[in-house]
């Protein structure tokens, strides 16, 4: 095993419980009760200047400080009554299931780089690990020099520090690989090769962990690309889906058909966003902070549009429902109409173009609502946070100098699994 050792979480923070509890999310701002986080660990220690671009980080984070920042984020949630579930603990618990172990080991070695001989050797090594050690290997990866019994041509030509199983540093952003719509969970289809295996972990947890027993799965990773950061639940029955760098129009269409057929929504707004690193997801440019208000990147506030998608008839099938597509219309107009409100308030951050670009890059618009008019935000985005406070939104500031190196804010780092209905 890696010298980083098995997964750990702070002893003071609750992990999991087998007691049945509600599951479901119908809005972005209903009082948050339960959330899944992933505390950064050994997988971030795998990042180097040589591989950080490939692994989708803009720098090499100071891991100890990132952990301190994440612990403070988790504490800010628990201090306000939110139950925090840690992904690494959920994973270690499901790895006591032989079926889950078999699925996840097979997914970890499903890599054409390895060849048949090294695939068998890596699978045998992983299958022999205890649940917590296997959880660490699945998240932090397995380097050439850590593999017991390695053999085969691919193994021989590898550098000792090359990865047989690559690490998953983006697990930090738990919003992307699964998202709850109503009482069903969508296991998403991640676009970037470095993130494909994250969905196998969230699928195993959703399928095998007793906490999620019986929850229907709305989407799966074999379908068109769809990422949770692009899915915003604007109001009960109204879903916005960004399409751009990570989510395709086909993924938005598939999700629309499924939420209509299952009675989870009546309207889906499809919102094109620039296919750029700085605007990789819809939630990097806009997030809800009240039942009728969102903070939005000023550079797009006047130009963002949406297509309104509804079902042609009463839907009776997940994937063949006829859709009606109207638009495009200004996003704020289409959203207000779908939400049944007079207008959607966009909080004017009053930013000059340079400051706006800086704070958007630093996830100033990526807030996590804990309740209406209460949101967690990175403390460094001082101008955006001041505008939120002036608009009546209480801001819970958290540090993020190291957490933000993967380009994600409080919403990106959290997957709500239970919010009270509005």
Q: Read out DSSP for 252-273?
A: HHHHHHHHHHTTS-SEEEEEE-
pLDDT at 312: 82
| pLDDT for residue 15 | 44
**Closest to 289 (Cα-Cα) out of 395, 418, 176:** 395
| DSSP H/E element including 298 | helix 298-301
Counting other chains too, the contacts that 189-193 makes at CB distance below 8 Å and 24 or more residues apart are 189/219, 189/220, 189/221, 189/222, 189/223, 189/224, 189/225, 189/226, 189/227, 189/251, 190/221, 190/225, 190/227, 190/246, 191/225, 191/227, 191/245, 191/246, 191/247, 191/248, 192/56, 192/246
Sheet holding 83-86, edge to edge: 83-86, 32-37, 415-419
The residues facing 233 across adjacent strands are: 239
- What is the per-residue pLDDT for 77? 97
What's the rounded Cα separation, in Å, for the pair 184 and 178?
Answer: 10
How far apart CA 128 and CA 9 sit, in angstroms, is: 24
Backbone angles phi, psi at 4, to 5 degrees: -70, -15
Per-residue confidence (pLDDT) for residue 195, from 0 to 100: 87
| H or E stretch covering 323 | strand 323-330
**Residue 403 and residue 169: Cα distance in Å, rounded?**
11
Read off the tokens for 121. Answer: 């050797």
At 302 the pLDDT is 82
List of residues 6+ apart from 64 with CB closer than 8 A: none
Distance, CA of 215 to CA of 195 (rounded, Å): 24
Q: Are 418 and 182 in contact (CB under 8 A)?
A: no
State the residue for tokens 């296997």: 134
Dmax (CA) of the chain: 66
pLDDT at 6: 40
Report the predicted TM-score, pTM, of the whole model to 2 decimal places. Answer: 0.89
- pLDDT by residue (tens digit) across 91-144? 999 999 999 999 999 999 999 999 999 999 999 999 999 999 999 999 999 999
For this structure, is 415 an active site residue? no
Per-residue pLDDT for the chain (422 aa), expressed as one digit of tens each?
A: 334 444 444 433 344 444 567 899 999 999 999 999 999 988 888 877 666 656 656 667 788 898 999 999 999 999 999 999 999 999 999 999 999 999 999 999 999 999 999 999 999 999 999 999 999 999 999 999 889 888 889 999 988 888 899 999 889 999 999 999 999 999 999 988 878 899 999 999 999 999 998 899 999 999 999 999 999 999 999 999 999 888 999 999 999 999 999 999 999 999 999 765 445 789 988 999 999 999 988 778 788 999 999 998 776 667 778 899 998 999 999 999 999 999 999 987 666 565 555 544 455 589 999 999 999 999 888 888 998 999 999 999 999 878 776 667 899 999 999 999 98
pLDDT digits (tens, 9 = 90+) for 399-421: 987 877 666 789 999 999 999 99
Q: State both tokens at 391.
A: 């608009």
pLDDT of residue 148: 87
Residue of 85, 90, 158, 412 marked active site: 412
Burial environment of residue 415 by CB neighbours within 10 A (0 to 12, 13 to 18, 19 or more): buried
Query: What residues are paired with 189 via a beta bridge?
Result: 226
Residue entry with tokens 């021989």: 156
For the chain, the distance separating the N- and C-terminal CA atoms, rounded to the nearest angstrom, is: 47
How is residue 267 written in tokens? 């309207």
Which among 335, 331, 185, 200 is positioned nearest to 262, based on CA atoms? 185
Rounded Cα gap, residues 111 and 390, in angstroms: 51
pLDDT at residue 332 in the model: 95
Closest CA to 43 of 167, 149, 160, 127: 167
Which domains are seen in the chain, by residue range? 170-419 (3.75.10.10)
- Sequence-distant (6+) residues with CB within 8 A of 214 are none
What number of other Cβ atoms are within 10 A of residue 104's Cβ?
25
Q: According to the model, what pLDDT value does residue 53 have? A: 59
DSSP state of 205: H
Cα torsion 96, 102, 103, 108 to 10°: value is 100
Confidence at residue 384, expressed as pLDDT on a 0 to 100 scale: 87
Per-residue DSSP letter, 226 = B
Rounded-to-integer distance, Cα 15 and Cα 36, Å: 10
């Amino acid at each position: 095993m890696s010298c980083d050792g098995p997964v750990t979480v702070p002893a003071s923070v609750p992990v999991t419980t087998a007691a049945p509890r509600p599951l479901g999310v119908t809005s972005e701002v209903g009082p948050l009760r339960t959330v899944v986080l992933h505390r950064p660990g050994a997988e971030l220690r795998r990042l180097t200047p040589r591989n950080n671009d490939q692994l989708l980080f803009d720098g090499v984070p100071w891991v100890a400080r990132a952990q301190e920042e994440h612990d403070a984020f988790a504490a800010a949630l628990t201090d306000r009554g939110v139950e925090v579930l840690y992904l690494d603990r959920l994973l270690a618990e499901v790895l006591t299931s032989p079926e889950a172990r078999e699925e996840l080991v097979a997914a970890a070695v499903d890599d054409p780089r390895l060849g048949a001989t090294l695939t068998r050797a890596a699978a045998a090594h992983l299958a022999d690990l205890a649940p917590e050690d296997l959880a660490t290997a699945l998240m932090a990866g397995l380097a050439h020099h850590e593999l017991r019994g390695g053999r085969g041509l691919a193994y021989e030509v590898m550098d000792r520090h090359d990865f047989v199983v690559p690490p998953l540093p983006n697990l930090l952003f738990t919003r992307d690989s699964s998202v709850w719509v109503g009482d069903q969970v969508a296991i998403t289809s991640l676009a970037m090769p470095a993130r494909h295996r994250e969905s196998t972990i969230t699928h195993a947890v959703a399928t095998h962990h007793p906490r999620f027993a019986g929850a229907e799965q709305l989407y799966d990773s074999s379908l068109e690309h769809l990422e949770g950061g692009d899915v915003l639940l604007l109001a009960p029955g109204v879903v916005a889906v960004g399409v751009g760098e990570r989510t395709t129009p086909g993924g938005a269409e598939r999700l629309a058909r499924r939420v209509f057929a299952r009675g989870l929504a009546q309207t889906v707004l499809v919102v094109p966003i620039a296919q750029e690193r700085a605007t990789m997801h819809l939630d990097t440019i806009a997030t809800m902070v009240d039942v009728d208000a969102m903070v939005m990147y000023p550079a797009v506030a006047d130009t963002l549009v949406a297509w309104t998608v509804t079902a042609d008839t009463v839907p009776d099938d997940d994937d063949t429902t006829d859709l009606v597509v109207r638009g495009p219309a200004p996003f704020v107009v289409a959203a207000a109409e779908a939400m049944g409100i007079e207008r959607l308030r966009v909080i004017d951050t009053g930013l000059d173009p340079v400051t706006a670009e800086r704070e958007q890059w630093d996830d100033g618009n990526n807030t996590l609502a804990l309740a209406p008019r209460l949101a967690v935000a990175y403390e460094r985005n001082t101008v955006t946070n001041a505008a939120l406070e002036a608009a009546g939104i209480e801001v819970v500031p958290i540090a993020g100098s190291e957490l933000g190196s993967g380009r994600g804010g409080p919403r990106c780092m959290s997957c709500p699994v239970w919010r009270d209905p509005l």
